[in-house]
Amino acid sequence: MSLKNWEKEYDVGIVKRAILKVHPGMPLKERLNHTIYRINAQKQILEQTSYKMEQRDKEYFEKVTQALMNHDVERAKMYANEVAEIRKMAKVVLRSQLALEQVAIRLQTVEEFGDVAASMAPLAQVVSSVRGELEGVMPTVSFELGEINETLGSLVTEAGEATGSSYDVEPSEEAKKILEEANAVAEQRLKESFPEAPLSAGEAGKEAR
């Protein structure tokens, strides 16, 4: 289904009726603009959190180094564990940020060309996956993404009913590809932004001797 020049008056028959059924009186372009804005807002929150985690990692990394220099193995272990936890969460946050960035970009393409059912379904799946990953890390962002996902899902479902398409909750190949790309880029950026991991607890003991 391809809907172009959404700002103008047009008659799209059954598709238009399906869209209006979800939000009567609200143009599809307006709904998408609002959704893109909400996604970018959450992406910015994740960017700020990622920066804070990077700064916190540097702080604790320095504490590990200092503890090892002072032969304080137990303190080095404690700080090393904290660094490990920070990096684990940082990867989730960065991966989520990159995935949402791709979703926002692709939604802008949907806004331009109007390929609703085909293009938006995998994007809704990506948002759902990101929401699940952030649930235990950033619950407020996760909650907002849940609402965004409902908006995307309801629109795709209604538009799909109009054209005989279906909306699968399980990640499609396209959704998996987006998530895999985000994960690969996140790993690379973490290597570039974070110094080599501190010595493990066992190695810390050897180093102290």
For residue range 144-180, list pLDDT tens digits in order.
999 999 888 877 776 555 444 444 555 678 888 899 9
- What's the pLDDT at 198? 57
Q: In order of start, what are the domains of the chain with their CATH numbers? A: 26-208 (1.20.1260)
Q: What is the pTM of this model?
A: 0.74
Q: What is the largest CA-CA distance in the chain?
A: 79
User: How many beta carbons lie within 10 A of that of residue 88, not counting itself?
Assistant: 10
Among 7-11, 133-137, 159-163, the minimum mean pLDDT is found in 7-11
Percent of the chain with pLDDT over 70: 69
Q: What is the mean pLDDT of the chain?
A: 77
